[in-house]
């Protein structure tokens, strides 16, 4: 069997895996990235990056790539959450950047890929973990090979494809699920920013402008709840949103795309790093999209992982990987506390 030996073997070519590859390449650390062909057509979700993330991507020398992949700059958002008044969260006073970015994620992935040496990555959907040899068996169509690394990285997002094969479980905090579709763009007189969020009984929704003609609407609820069963069919959305103050005004008679379903729950891997592996991005800690911090987390964990890997490769100790793991655990703990406050706010609303 042919083999490839690399300092770092990365599985998953999302934002986390690609950013890590770019950062390792800049440090002169050898990596090999396994990516996967998209199995289904990807729906553009117009994901937003908050202003707080821009200083980090500037520091990492990635700001240009992100700005070039932006659909538009965002100057704030509106929400109706635990209150009957529309909140205007304006980025004007944010420092040092007073705007966020609404991203074309596919374009961003393409641009990040363009930063990499092409011989260091391979698209392959069929691979397995060989525990006895501690390597990845890649069943490439041209020629199967074994991929060895001093460090293996799981960057496969919520699929946790490597963690599963290593037998590492996760703690799941809820069963939230998302339903998204494209709608003709409707403008509302009270909503001047391109993002609006509203909570309703048993769920919440967000509408985000994608381009001059299109809005993306996503509704969220617990998997298996009566609301989630209705969310699968766009025909039910009018009834579901009938009690909302504003969200229902963004529904149009005709839907422009099928309803796309994705997992959106809070989940943390039981182990984030071992002596020769680590997880990053959603594979390590995944947030509720309400936080708008999934992409920031993908970039931040890639940055911290690159630093920890450099230290690990230069020493006999796995101390740096332990520190990395602890850092992520603290971040997830702080996230859970904030999430709880948001939920308490909704309980307060229903009691008043």
Ligand X SMILES: Cc1cc2nc3c(=O)[nH]c(=O)nc-3n(C[C@H](O)[C@H](O)[C@H](O)COP(=O)(O)OP(=O)(O)OC[C@H]3O[C@@H](n4cnc5c(N)ncnc54)[C@H](O)[C@@H]3O)c2cc1C
Binding residue for ligand X, selected from 8, 45, 217, 259, defined by CB under 6 A: 45
* Contact in structure between 288 and 265 (CB atoms under 8 Å): yes
Binding segment for ligand X (CB under 6 A), chosen from 139-147, 242-250, 287-295, 303-311, is 287-295
Alpha carbon 168 to its chain centroid, in Å, reads 20
What track of x and - describes contact with ligand X for positions 255 through 284 (by CB under 6 A)?
-------x-x----------------xx--
Least distance to ligand X from the beta carbon of 16, Å? 3
Least distance to ligand X from the beta carbon of 36, Å? 4
Least distance to ligand X from the beta carbon of 322, Å? 21
The angle, 0 to 180 degrees and rounded to 10, between the axes of the packed helices 294-313 and 15-27 is 30
Tokens of 273: 């790093």
Binding residue for ligand X, selected from 12, 76, 203, 205, defined by CB under 6 A: 12
* Contact in structure between 304 and 58 (CB atoms under 8 Å): no
Q: d(Cα 251, Cα 205) in Å, to the nearest integer?
A: 12
Comparing CB distances to ligand X, the nearer of 59 and 128 is 128
Degrees, nearest 5: CA angle 333-301-149: 125
Binding segment for ligand X (CB under 6 A), chosen from 20-28, 114-122, 133-141, 157-165, is 157-165
Q: Which helix (H) or strand (E) holds 100?
A: strand 100-103
Binding residue for ligand X, selected from 65, 70, 136, 161, defined by CB under 6 A: 161
Q: Does 36 bind ligand X (CB under 6 A)?
A: yes
Q: d(Cα 19, Cα 57) in Å, to the nearest integer?
A: 10
* Contact in structure between 78 and 197 (CB atoms under 8 Å): yes
Q: Does 13 bind ligand X (CB under 6 A)?
A: yes
Q: Which helix (H) or strand (E) holds 178?
A: strand 176-184
Q: Does 215 bind ligand X (CB under 6 A)?
A: no
Q: Does 194 bind ligand X (CB under 6 A)?
A: no
Q: Does 163 bind ligand X (CB under 6 A)?
A: no
Select from 102, 106, 105, 87 the least CA-distant residue to 53.
102
Comparing CB distances to ligand X, the nearer of 12 and 203 is 12
Q: Which residues bind ligand X (CB under 6 A)?
A: 11-17, 34-36, 45, 47-49, 155-159, 161, 178, 180, 218, 262, 264, 281-282, 289, 292-296, 298
């Amino acid at each position: 069997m042919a083999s490839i030996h690399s300092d770092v073997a990365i599985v998953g070519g999302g934002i986390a895996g690609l950013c890590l590859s770019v950062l390792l390449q800049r440090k002169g650390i050898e990596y090999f990235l396994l990516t996967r062909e998209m199995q289904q057509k990807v729906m553009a979700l117009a994901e937003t990056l908050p202003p707080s993330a821009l200083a980090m991507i500037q520091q990492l020398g990635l700001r240009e790539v992100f700005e070039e992949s932006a659909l538009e700059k965002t100057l704030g958002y509106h929400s109706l959450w635990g209150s009957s008044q529309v909140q205007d969260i304006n980025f004007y006073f944010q420092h040092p950047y007073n705007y966020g970015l609404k991203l074309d994620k596919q374009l961003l992935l393409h641009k990040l890929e363009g930063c990499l040496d092409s011989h260091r990555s391979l698209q392959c959907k069929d691979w397995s973990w060989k525990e006895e040899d501690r390597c990845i068996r890649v069943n490439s169509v041209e020629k199967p090979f074994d991929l060895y690394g001093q460090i293996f990285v799981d960057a496969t997002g919520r699929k946790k494809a490597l963690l599963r094969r290593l037998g590492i479980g996760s703690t799941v905090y809820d069963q939230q699920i998302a339903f998204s579709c494209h709608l003709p763009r409707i403008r509302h007189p009270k909503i001047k920013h391109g993002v609006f969020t509203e909570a309703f009984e048993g769920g919440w929704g967000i509408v985000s402008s994608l381009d001059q003609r299109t809005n993306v609407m996503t509704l969220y609820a617990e998997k298996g709840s009566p609301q989630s069963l209705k969310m699968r069919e766009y025909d039910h959305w009018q009834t579901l949103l009938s009690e909302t103050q504003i969200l229902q005004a963004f529904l149009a008679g005709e839907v422009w795309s099928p309803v796309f379903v994705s997992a959106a729950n809070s989940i943390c891997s039981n182990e984030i790093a071992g002596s020769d592996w680590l997880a990053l991005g959603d594979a390590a800690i995944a947030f509720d999209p309400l936080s708008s911090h999934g992409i920031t987390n993908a970039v931040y964990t890639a940055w911290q992982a690159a630093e920890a890997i450099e230290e690990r490769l230069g020493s006999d100790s796995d101390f740096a990987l332990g520190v990395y793991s602890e850092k992520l655990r603290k971040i997830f703990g702080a996230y859970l506390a904030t999430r709880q406050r948001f939920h308490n706010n909704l309980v307060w609303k229903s009691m008043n």
